[in-house]
Amino acid sequence: MPETFSFGIDPVTTHSWNNNHTEVAVSLNNHEVKVYKKTGITYNNTATLSEHGQRVTSIDWAPKSNNIVTCGADRNAYVWTLQDDGKWKPVLVILRINRAATCVRWSPDENKFAVGSGARIISICYFEEDNKWWVSKHIKKPIRSTVTCLDWHPNNILLAAGSTDFKARVFSGYIKDVEKKPSATSWGSKMNLGNLMCEFSNGGGGWVHSVSFSPSGEKLAWVGHDASVSVALAGNGDQIAVVKGNFLPFMSLTWVTENSMVCVVRTFLWSPAVSYQKTSLMAVMAHDTNIFYCVTYLNRLWWMKWPCLYFHLSSKVSVFAGTKADCTKFSTSGADGQLIIWDFKSLEKSISGLRIA
């Protein structure tokens, strides 16, 4: 059975773990971020971060530096540093945006982070040593609507972004002030800041809610409001593999191995298993008490059934134990006020036992 923790009746809109997963920062749909530390089988509130003036929209806890970055509807972002006295000190980030900040992600090397916004802008933020503050440079074109989600490539340079203009894009997030000039990648070779490497659309009308690079960085997956999962391969032009359902929209996803991912919807946990065999793609999805799994292999489609996993109003999924390359547990949070830790290996065994209907 999964481990379940309740933080009350308020929705847990987002969460992020520290490096050893003993502490978690959560937003309960208001202007505060609460930090909880696990003691035994319970979580105790150790700090409340309340610098934001409006609802906190995204949190990311850097595993190496232990810094927390938050952003919110007040158009601000803060970097929080733990002091010797156990208190968290906020530093305001100069975002230069006139709409709500919607999402934030540290880069793998933690020398910068990206903030998406309703201003159709991505702010690439880095620490300016001369003035001792966080500043930003903007990526604007060709984004036509609110940026809803972000994810960094393992090389610390490329940045994937999804937005409400129905597109998933890969940009260069290179900042010459803080890093060496990067070499060419399979996604493209022109690395100046903001260069559009790739742009994808699955042909539907769904907002992109979540994007994620695979552990190798050679695959990009995203989920949309049209109940779709899409995957693109680096160097494969604009060709993508798409699986669509007639169900509720996917809200978040993460890779759990190089060949599999987990997605969540507002009502139930969905557990797609994606397997590549050279140029082929397989994706498995689930829904409702008679969960239907659709499996695509090139242009062919199969349907399979599996019992309902759990009732959970999920809106965010993240790796809890392991990495994207070898996840053993993942966590979800949602509008029911719960944080749930799932054993991926157990789910994987259940999936492997499915038969094509």
Residues 231, 303, single domain; the answer is no
Which residue ranges of the chain lie beneath pLDDT 50? 267-312, 353-357
Supply the CATH number for residue 151's domain.
Answer: 2.130.10.10
Residues 76, 209, single domain; the answer is yes
* Residue 205 identity (one-letter amino acid): G
Residues 6+ apart with CB under 8 A from 194: 138, 139, 140, 141, 171, 172
Residues 281, 336, single domain; the answer is yes
Residues 72, 128, single domain; the answer is yes
- Considering the domain boundaries, does residue 324 fall inside one? yes
User: What's residue 349's pLDDT?
Assistant: 65
User: What's residue 326's pLDDT?
Assistant: 93
Residues 171, 295, single domain; the answer is no
Residues 124, 256, single domain; the answer is yes
Q: Residue 127 pairs with which residues in a beta bridge?
A: 134
Residues 315, 174, single domain; the answer is no
Q: Are strands 33-39 and 23-27 parallel, antiparallel or unpaired?
A: antiparallel
Residue after which a domain boundary falls, among 224, 242, 267: 267
User: What's residue 141's pLDDT?
Assistant: 94
The answer to whether 304 and 295 have CB atoms below 8 angstroms apart is yes
Q: Number of structural domains, the chain?
A: 2
Q: What is the pLDDT of residues 13-53, one digit of tens each?
A: 999 999 999 999 999 999 999 999 988 888 999 999 999 99
Domain that holds residue 300: 268-357
Residues 103, 226, single domain; the answer is yes
User: What's residue 111's pLDDT?
Assistant: 97
Residue after which a domain boundary falls, among 267, 284, 305: 267
Residue after which a domain boundary falls, among 232, 267, 302: 267
User: What's residue 290's pLDDT?
Assistant: 31
- Considering the domain boundaries, does residue 7 fall inside one? no
- What's the pTM? 0.87
* Exposure of 286 in the CB half-sphere (CA atoms within 13 A): 26
Residues 144, 234, single domain; the answer is yes
Residues 53, 97, single domain; the answer is yes
User: What's residue 236's pLDDT?
Assistant: 86
Residues 209, 273, single domain; the answer is no
User: What's residue 266's pLDDT?
Assistant: 57
- Considering the domain boundaries, does residue 6 fall inside one? no
Residue (of 245, 271, 235, 241) closest to 256 by Cα position: 271
User: What's residue 352's pLDDT?
Assistant: 53
